[in-house]
Amino acid sequence: MQDAGTKLEQGSAQLRCIGCGSVLQSAGRNFRCPDCDDLLEVTYPGWKCADTALRPQDLKASWTERRKSSAYVDQSGVWRFRELLPVPSGPASLVSLSEGNTPVYELPNCARSTGVEALFAKHQGMNPTGSFKDTGMTVAATFARLEGFRWVACASTGNTSASMAAYAARGGMRSVVLIPEGQVSWGKLSQALDYGAVTCQLKTDFDGCMRVLNEVVQRMPVCLLNSVNPYRLEGQKTAAIELLEQFNWEAPDHIIVPGGNLGNSSAIGKACMEMKELGLISRLPKISIIQAEGANPLVRAMRENGGKKLSPMRADTMATAIRIGNPASWKKAVRVLEATGGTVEQVSEVEIALAKAEIGADGVGCEPASAVTLAGLKKLVKQGFIKRNESVVLILTGHMLKDPDFTIKFHRGDLFPDKKDDAAILKEQQRAPIVLDASVEAVLKALEQA
C-alpha cells in the first residue's frame, strides 16, 4: 500500500498553492500547502511554451473527431478533453464510467416565467451516478489508483459518496464515506451501499464529517477524494468545456451554478479562464453562484467584506446537497466571481421548491440543490443584473431521482406545513397524486377536471 502523497509526473501539469504560489512536486494527504495550509490547484506551464503550445483550432478539431471514436478513453466526455487535464501514463489505467457527454436542454417554460429569451440547462445529473461529481471522480480516482492507494475516502452530503463509491469499485479500490446522519437522501445513501462503500453515518453535519475525515487521512493511508483534491476540479472543468463546445465556442452571457463546498463553481470558472487564455473562446461568461438562505456563507462573505474573509456558519436547508457552512473552496470561488464579473445570490426554501417543480414541468427535472439556479436567476433578472435578451445556462448538478422524498412531499403539500402565507403560490405548482375508485368513470372525471 502506498502511503506517500500524490505525485504529478506526466505532461506539463504541476501543483501550485493558491495562497503563497509555492509549486509542489507532490501533495500531502490533505492536499494543502505545507507552507501556508492553503488549497492547491493544477496549473499547466507547458501551455505557454512555444514548442508545445496548444492551438485552439487543432484542439477543437481533435475533440470533435474523438466523438466518433469507440476507444475507452474517447468514450469519456472528460478524457476526450485530455489536453486540458493532468494525464496519467496510459489510457488503460483510467478509472472511467464513460462520464460526461451530458445534454444541454432548452427550458422554454422556465424562460417564459423568468422573462429571459434564451434559457438552457446543462444537465450534469445525467452522469453515470446521477451527479456532476463523476466528471471529477474519474480523474481523482485514476490518480489515486496510479499512486497505489487501496483505499479512498470522502465526507459527503451524498453525491460525492455515491460517485466515489462507484469509481472506487470500478478501479478495484475500497472506499469509506462519512456522511451526516439523517441528512442524506435515501437515493444517495443507497448508492454508496450498493457500490460497496464502508458507509459511516456520523452524528454531526457535513462540516463535522469533514473535520473528522481530515484527521483520518493523516493517520491512515487513504486518498482523500473531496473537492480539496485538485484532480477532482480538473475533471469537473470539462462540464464547461463541453458546454462551450455545444455552444459552438460562443460563450453564453451567464452561467449560474449552485454553491455548496464551492468546488464546482471554482472548476467551471477555472475552465472558462483557461479556455479564454488558450483562445478557445473570445470572452468570458459571467459566472454567478447561488446558495440557500440557510447555507449562505459565501453570500455573506461577499456582502459583508467583499469576499476577503469567510465566517463558517451552522447550515440548514432542505436542499441537503448544499447544507454546508464552511466551504473549502471559497477562495477559489471568490476568484471566479471577480474574474468573470459574476455575482452571488441566496434563495429561500419555498423559492427552491417552486423552481424545482418548474424545471420538472419543462420535462427536465433535477434535485433540489440544482433548482437554486432557476430561483436565483429569477432574482437576478428582477435586479437587472441579468438582462432579458442575454443568454443564460443553468448548471443542473443532480438527477431528479436523487431525492424523491422531497418531490413527493412538495406535490402532496407536506413540505411546508407551516407556510400558510405561501399556500396559494405553492398550490399553483403542486400536482398531487389522485386516489380514485378503479373505474373508467372516475378516471374520465379526473381528466375532465384537469
Query: Which residues make up the interface to ligand F0G (CB under 6 A)?
Result: 131, 156-160, 227, 258-265, 321-322, 367, 369-370, 397-398
Tell the smallest beta-carbon distance from residue 103 to ligand F0G (Å).
17
119 to each of 113, 114, 140, 255, 429, how far by Cα in Å? Answer: 11, 9, 32, 10, 20
Query: At residue 6, what are phi and psi to the nearest 5 degrees?
Result: -85, 140
**Of 88 and 158, CB closest to ligand F0G:** 158
Under a CB-based contact definition with an 8 Å cutoff, are residues 257 and 285 in contact?
no
Tell the smallest beta-carbon distance from residue 337 to ligand F0G (Å).
13
**CA angle (20 as vertex; 14, 26 as ends), nearest 5:** 35
Q: Three-state SS across 135-154?
A: HHHHHHHHHHHHCCCCEEEE
**Of 114 and 265, CB closest to ligand F0G:** 265
Q: Which residues contact 448 (CB under 8 A, 6 or more apart)?
A: none
**Of 281 and 395, CB closest to ligand F0G:** 395
C-alpha cell, 141: 480516482
**Of 59 and 209, CB closest to ligand F0G:** 209
C-alpha cell, 279: 483562445
**Of 30 and 160, CB closest to ligand F0G:** 160
Question: Cα(288)–Cα(303) distance, rounded to whole angstroms?
Answer: 14
**Of 158 and 294, CB closest to ligand F0G:** 158
What is the CB-side half-sphere exposure of residue 170 using CA atoms within 13 A? Answer: 24
Tell the smallest beta-carbon distance from residue 265 to ligand F0G (Å).
6
Give the H/E segment covering residue 373. Answer: helix 368-382
Q: How many CB atoms lie within 10 A of CB 50?
A: 5
Tell the smallest beta-carbon distance from residue 438 to ligand F0G (Å).
38
- Angle between helix 56-66 and helix 238-246 axes, rounded to 10 deg: 90
Query: At residue 199, what are phi and psi to the nearest 5 degrees?
Result: -105, 110
Tell the smallest beta-carbon distance from residue 343 to ligand F0G (Å).
16
Question: Cα(97)–Cα(305) distance, rounded to whole angstroms?
Answer: 42
Tell the smallest beta-carbon distance from residue 449 to ligand F0G (Å).
35
Tell the smallest beta-carbon distance from residue 28 to ligand F0G (Å).
22
Tell the smallest beta-carbon distance from residue 398 to ligand F0G (Å).
3
Under a CB-based contact definition with an 8 Å cutoff, are residues 187 and 42 in contact?
no
**Of 259 and 376, CB closest to ligand F0G:** 259
Under a CB-based contact definition with an 8 Å cutoff, are residues 230 and 15 in contact?
yes
**Of 97 and 322, CB closest to ligand F0G:** 322
